[in-house]
Chains A and B, each alone.
Chain A
């Protein structure tokens, strides 16, 4: 595989009338890794991807593939494979859809059976796309992106609509594409959907960047806390107050803003409170994600 191509978003802004969908967004997606592009619905993910692919004209800023805009790529399908909305003419078969795209993109139609096999659609090749399930349409969209054997893949919510088997398959598939040195950008509104397949995350909310870095660094965003419970919650609360610890009450006990369970245990001991549980709460990725996204919404 030739040199990797990064995706570079710089100062990207898109306004639809009064609504600012993307607001001065900058980030880079590196080759050889799977990057999750995350944010709640309406955060501006799709608009960012459409601006990157030349489908939406940015109000300001640039979005390029290694410095080249999509429309300036000599043969775009051989550099970038993009799947945005898995929409097909209902009367056209899967094979014919791929042939149409191949002829428009200057790709040999001999690639068509290859990519159908790659996504496991060979047996449905001559069925009309109108009868396809969402999962099959996702596979056909993915097959379309692979036609030009591109070095960059941009996939908008590719896991949406896949069955568990399909989800497992696509995770391994994305990983293998990144291992080959390709740049893989996958959007999702659910971190849990992609956390097993991504190395990096770019998180946006309300059109703005809130976090860009490795998945591991996301875990450190929210400090670990301690969960403590007692048969006598009121007395426990008093003891925590006494020790000057902040906490919130949850179904499993008090969640204390203190990483060291020893400190919390000591506070209970000093207050003479019997404990029924005491353990460290590892901050979940999802917690971190929601906390970050929540910040953006304020």
Chain B
């Protein structure tokens, strides 16, 4: 009962401040540009292979390459940073604004509060996922259709990908909660999210793919696991497709594992500290 109350309170916290829709807005803009822009560019190269080659192009697509999954998966392959941020802010904001006191007065069982945040951010991640995939499918399919290319909208594979992508976004929201619990300093948490997702992990994935042994480990990097779960990604096309990715369910388990382990560790350390 108190767990249900805690989840309700956490939803209220998110929905009564502006952060969630600001992040949703940036997500939409980012994904629309990537999916629509990249879709238009690829559509043009497919239709004009000669011109593309003249323009300096090794950009010609491999034969049989499906563009639709690639474009649609932008929602999670570049958008996953948004649920992580929202999840992390749900925890760090309590420290930053010193609202933990009021939170723990209303629900003195701290594990219940953290569980409420975990659950509510899973849902918020899924909501961002729905928004992100609506954008990527909308913009990507429009771009493909403009060049008379296959949109894949009539294929169940496409919608399975969208479903797995929404699941990935949900898990990223929970990972954000774990990160926030481990690193309660808001600025530090944001810097870690941005640096890791935009810089450290892409480099690690690239570096890991150069060698068979490290490639084996690189598959378990969170971004790689996420792409495996979704089933397609810009990264796996951009030269990193040589290594076999995890199965989609393995990728999901890796993300879930990271979320749970980080949240439990945070819950046993910073979350248990005296609030003074």
Interface set of A (CB-CB < 8 Å, partner B): 46-47, 50, 53-57, 70-71, 73, 76-77, 82, 84-85, 87-93, 96, 99-101, 103-106, 144
Per-residue contact bits, chain B 69-81, to A (CB 8 Å; 1 contact, 0 not): 0000000000000
Flag whether B192 is at the interface (Cβ < 8 A).
no
Flag whether B156 is at the interface (Cβ < 8 A).
no
Docked complex Cα distance between A142 and B199 (Å): 47
Flag whether B54 is at the interface (Cβ < 8 A).
no
Contact of A55 with B275 in the complex, beta carbons under 8 Å: yes
Q: Closest chain B residue to A69 by CB distance?
A: B108
What A residues does B101 contact at CB under 8 A?
Answer: 55, 84-85, 87
Contact of A96 with B12 in the complex, beta carbons under 8 Å: yes
Contact of B98 with A87 in the complex, beta carbons under 8 Å: yes
Pick the residue among A55, A76, A77, A87 that contacts B274 (CB under 8 A): A55
Docked complex Cα distance between A55 and B94 (Å): 14
Flag whether B58 is at the interface (Cβ < 8 A).
no
Contact of B108 with A87 in the complex, beta carbons under 8 Å: no
A56 CB to closest chain B CB, in angstroms?
4
Docked complex Cα distance between A84 and B8 (Å): 24
What B residues does A93 contact at CB under 8 A?
Answer: 16
What A residues does B276 contact at CB under 8 A?
Answer: 46-47, 50, 55-56
Contact of A50 with B275 in the complex, beta carbons under 8 Å: yes
What A residues does B12 contact at CB under 8 A?
Answer: 96, 99-100, 103
Contact of A100 with B13 in the complex, beta carbons under 8 Å: yes
Q: Closest chain A residue to B11 by CB distance?
A: A103
What A residues does B5 contact at CB under 8 A?
Answer: 103-106
Contact of A104 with B108 in the complex, beta carbons under 8 Å: no
Contact of A89 with B93 in the complex, beta carbons under 8 Å: yes
| Known contacts A46-B276, A55-B101; A106/B2 CB under 8 A | yes
A-B contact pairs, 29 of them (CB 8 A): A47-B276, A53-B108, A55-B104, A55-B275, A55-B276, A56-B276, A71-B108, A73-B108, A76-B105, A76-B106, A82-B105, A84-B105, A85-B98, A88-B99, A88-B102, A89-B17, A89-B97, A89-B99, A90-B97, A92-B17, A96-B16, A99-B12, A100-B9, A100-B13, A101-B106, A103-B8, A104-B6, A104-B9, A104-B103
